Amino acid sequence: MTDRYLEFSNSALGKTLSGLLGLPSPPRLVRAAGAYAARPLEARGVMLGSTSAGEMASPLLTALAEAGATVQVAPSHAGLLRVKASAAAVGVALKTEPNPEDKGAGASAYVFDASGIDGPARLRELYDFLQPRVGRIPANGRVLIVSRAPADAGDAAAQAATQGLRGFIRSFAKEIGKKGATANLLEVGRGGEAAIAGPLRFFLSPHSAYITGQTLALTAPARASGDLFLSPLAGKVALVTGAARGIGASIAATLAREGAQVVGIDRPQEEGALGETLARFDGYGLALDITAPDAPQRIAQELSTRFGGVDIVVHNAGITRDKMLKNMAPHLWDMVLDVNFGAILRINDALLKQGLNDGARMVCISSIGGIAGNAGQTNYGATKAGVIGYVEAMAAQMAKRGGAINAVAPGFIETAMTAQMPTGPREVGRRLASLGQGGLPIDIAEAVTFLASPLATGVNGRTLRVCGQNFVGA
Ligand SMILES: NC(=O)c1ccc[n+]([C@@H]2O[C@H](COP(=O)([O-])OP(=O)(O)OC[C@H]3O[C@@H](n4cnc5c(N)ncnc54)[C@H](O)[C@@H]3O)[C@@H](O)[C@H]2O)c1
């Protein structure tokens, strides 16, 4: 469904009127036009700053240069010597920051190496780097802070100050959201540097347009991902449940865009729509209710005999049956619990026994409703929080097989599900977010594709909110 107010407020008349009346003016987000590129930052200026004790300039410089970025450096900031020494060591040329008056030459993204923060005083180095440059962050610009994982940061003061960055990023994202710019935090555990290039590419690109104010943890990768940035899913088989329409259809198409052979599942009554969706990218359809008693067995068998196993599993199918608990009939409770939660566990149990290839990556679709809770959604909230718990609990088992399991928690997304909401709550759902608008199915699909790909090697057991920093539960 289209957001008519977003369209209006971005027209010439709408801009004038919303300015005069003090109405919200949600920015027009720039989304990716196609598949991942080999050098996605080509011809883009990215400014790199660091604390005076930063440890990650070398991997960051290497990743930025390989992505094609022109790396700019701030002339006088605490980490200048460290950035310069690392650049000399890894052979990356640095450009001095252009004059602020030199229009168009400024950086489109700002990356700050916040490792080495050992207490509150050193947080000042982040302030000194970013504060004078806030006004120069362009529309749809990107800010990425890269810190140590708090647990690996050192003593109590270092851990606490490093964790302070989470509050910083949540607040700062709210300040720059008006122009469609995003700010996120990557927490890197010891050894996680080896996996920094994928998340760096994702967060600095238009593929992450609707993700802001979030923290993602990166740990040492179980196995090297190699240089798999172009068609990263080529040769992979991907299963997507609920693929006929909405978010699932977009996930299926986006996985196919990056090279995957998609197997889509949806309910028998959606067979026509499923076939239409999958025909666009040569996908294979299975008309099947995921809660049917024989569904896990059939899925596992079909994937192993017909496709030689599965490499990516996306549990997307989900339903709502909202009622206040006092009015909720038991069948509404059971149905939501079974589709959104029980079926995932049963299908995975079957796949773990038969059909799941080594190195497989799973992504489960949760919801911010499972984080914040909504009146009338006790059943739905339980399933979506359960899914978050499930990916945390299963991470070690998936890592042992060389793979991973993560969740995506969408905020308000423009689909058939949200089109049914009454106008008032729908408008609130859209506007009460740093980016001032609902997301599109493609925003969820991009996050799922990132987590399903080798770009997210080192990300395991995590939940990534894709919500434009919706204020619900933030
Ligand atoms: N739309 C949002 O704003 C939003 C927000 C947060 C989370 N989510 C989650 O995203 C996922 C997709 O949501 P959507 O908005 O695209 O919903 P949707 O209703 O448009 O699509 C869901 C798909 O799942 C299929 N499905 C439902 N039950 C099934 C079953 N038993 N077996 C097989 N297929 C089944 C449906 O037929 C449908 O094609 C869900 O898990 C939902 O909870 C959506």
pLDDT of residue 24: 72
Residue 138 contacts by C-beta under 8 Å, 6 or more apart in sequence? 106, 108, 179, 181
pLDDT of residue 407: 98
Pocket test for ligand 1, best of 210, 340, 417, 442 (most atoms within 8 A of CB): 417
Alpha-carbon gap, residue 180 to 469, rounded angstroms: 11
Q: Which two tokens stand for residue 401?
A: 């097989």
Q: Is 380 a catalytic residue?
A: yes
Alpha helices for 354-464 (secondary structure H): 369-372, 378-400, 416-419, 423-431, 441-452
Report the 10 Å Cβ neighbour count for 419: 9
pLDDT of residue 17: 63
Q: Supply the DSSP symbol for 28.
A: P
Ligand 1 atom nearest the C-alpha of 317 is 24
Pocket test for ligand 1, best of 266, 277, 414 (most atoms within 8 A of CB): 266
Torsion of CA 63, 69, 75, 79, to 10 degrees: -10
Cα of 122 from ligand 1 centre, angstroms: 45
**258 with 231: CB under 8 angstroms?**
yes
pLDDT of residue 412: 93
Element counts in the chain: helices (H) and strands (E) = 17, 14
Q: From the CB of 217, is ligand 1 less than 6 Å away? A: no
pLDDT tens per residue across span 435-459: 999 999 999 999 999 999 999 999 9
Alpha helices for 401-437 (secondary structure H): 416-419, 423-431
**193 with 433: CB under 8 angstroms?**
no
Alpha-carbon gap, residue 116 to 147, rounded angstroms: 8
Q: From the CB of 276, is ligand 1 less than 6 Å away? A: no
Nearest to 368 by CA among 465, 242, 468, 434: 465
**72 with 112: CB under 8 angstroms?**
no
Cα of 242 from ligand 1 centre, angstroms: 6
Q: From the CB of 61, is ligand 1 less than 6 Å away? A: no
SS3 content of the chain, % helix, strand, coil (to 5): 45, 15, 40
pLDDT of residue 14: 65
Cα of 247 from ligand 1 centre, angstroms: 7
Cα of 265 from ligand 1 centre, angstroms: 12
Q: From the CB of 472, is ligand 1 less than 6 Å away? A: no
Domains of the chain by range and CATH? 41-218 (3.40.50.720), 237-466 (3.40.50.720)
Ligand 1 atom nearest the C-alpha of 244 is 39
Report the 10 Å Cβ neighbour count for 121: 10
Alpha-carbon gap, residue 15 to 6, rounded angstroms: 10
Q: From the CB of 264, is ligand 1 less than 6 Å away? A: no
pLDDT of residue 226: 62
**Below-70 pLDDT ranges, the chain:** 1, 8, 12-23, 104, 223-227, 474
